[in-house]
Amino acid sequence: MLFDPFDFIIVGAGLSGGVVARELAETGKKVLIIERRNHIAGNMFDYHDERGFLVQKYGPHTFHTKDESLYEYMKKYGEWEPYKLKCGASWGGKYSPTPFNFQTIDTFYPEKEAKILKSELLSEFPNREFVTVVELLEAKSSNVRNYASFLFKEDYAPYTSKQWGVSPETIDVSILKRVPVRLSYKEGYFDDPYEVMPKDSFTTFFENLLNHPNIEVRLGTDALELLTLGTDRFLFDGKEIKQHVVYTGALDTLFEYCYGELPYRSLKFEWFYEDIESKQPVAVLAYPQEKGFTRVTEYKKLPYQNIRGTVYAVEYPLAASYKNKLEPYYPVLTAESRALYEEYSKLFAKFKNVSKCGRLADFRYYNMDQTLANALSLVKRLKDTL
């Protein structure tokens, strides 16, 4: 493999790698993207199945942000349509919207108790649309604390245990704060002013993003089979290279697990088609108390597609490991895993011709807009220093 024509080598064709590549290409730099999979778009990859449904291979994604500039960036490479994601949870034969709201209270509490609880929530958290379950567990009102304990016992704890493979007490508190509780009857998973889905597909967005004469993409190529470690530089095919490398993969893999494996969660999907109009009331429905699987995504509703029947995927969380070759999706954030990552990060910092970027490389649970902002920030640093 020849690298001479290129100024940068980017490992990974997901959102981080794609944005960095495009921004560098716009400055006149020639960029090579090396992607292990046989497609671009990373975990945002979507495609039309045999019945014509647009489905997402690696689980549901929507773009949402409070930052207008990030939304404007996405618009440069694709057309987008407003889409309000609605999710829910089901246990004990009852359904509730998520984030949990006042409808949740009405569903699980007698009318008189529900009225008192809603009043105390508004009194203790005035002028708030959202509160975290952590705040509710520490509330002054015993009724509010009991409600939080109910939610924690019935949903947060069992779902967290399945999804992350650890007890809720050891998971980083940021994970528990990702799905707050609403103090109203309003529904919708996000309240960001910009919440959209692509008019065509996420894959089309990536095709446009990478469509530049200074960008070349090589699929089905594992960079780690070419990349080796020198004293203070990365080598490709055993030879020193002039190019700067942007790495978007997991650091433990890069360093051959010299300190041990970083914990990531993977997902297994079981796909189904039914000749019915609708499978469930919302696009994504969580099942905190079911054994094995965590949620069901009905892709006919993500976005809504006017096609006969419906298609959905059942998600089973699993531990990702280089031994079982499962794709790493989510970093498992605990005190121990953060400490282990810091050791890898210090080791990575010793190398001069490489930068890291993205959810896996940064060991962070980024949303899509956070991934975009992080990639743009890296580009700015690269422009300032190289």
pLDDT tens profile 203-217 = 999 999 999 999 999
Distance, in Å, from the CA atom of 15 to the CA atom of 186, rounded to the nearest integer, reads 31
Q: What is the pLDDT of residues 189-242, one digit of tens each?
A: 999 999 999 999 999 999 999 999 999 999 999 999 988 888 899 888 788 888
Instruction: Return mean pLDDT, the chain.
Output: 95
Domain residue ranges of the chain, discontinuous segments joined by +: 8-40+210-261+332-385, 87-182
CATH 3.40.50.1220 holds for 8-40+210-261+332-385: no
Least confident of 113-117, 228-232, 296-300: 228-232
**SS3 (DSSP) at 118:** helix
When pLDDT is averaged across residues 243-248 and rounded to a whole number, the result is 95
Residue 173 has pLDDT above 80, yes or no: no
Least confident of 27-41, 135-149, 318-332: 318-332
**DSSP code at position 224:** G
When pLDDT is averaged across residues 75-100 and rounded to a whole number, the result is 97
Q: What pLDDT was estimated at residue 348?
A: 96
Total-model pTM: 0.94
Q: How far apart are the first and last CA of the chain?
A: 24
Q: What pLDDT was estimated at residue 170?
A: 84
- What share of the chain has pLDDT > 90, as a percent? 86
pLDDT range class, residue 248, cuts 50, 70, 90: very high
Beta bridge partners of 63: 196
Distance, in Å, from the CA atom of 227 to the CA atom of 237, rounded to the nearest integer, reads 6
Question: What is the longest distance spanned by two Cα atoms in the chain?
Answer: 74
Q: What is the pLDDT of residues 299-355, one digit of tens each?
A: 999 999 999 999 999 999 999 987 778 889 999 999 999 999 999 999 999 999 999
pLDDT range class, residue 294, cuts 50, 70, 90: very high
Residue 1 has pLDDT above 80, yes or no: no
- CB-based contact 284:273 (threshold 8 Å): no
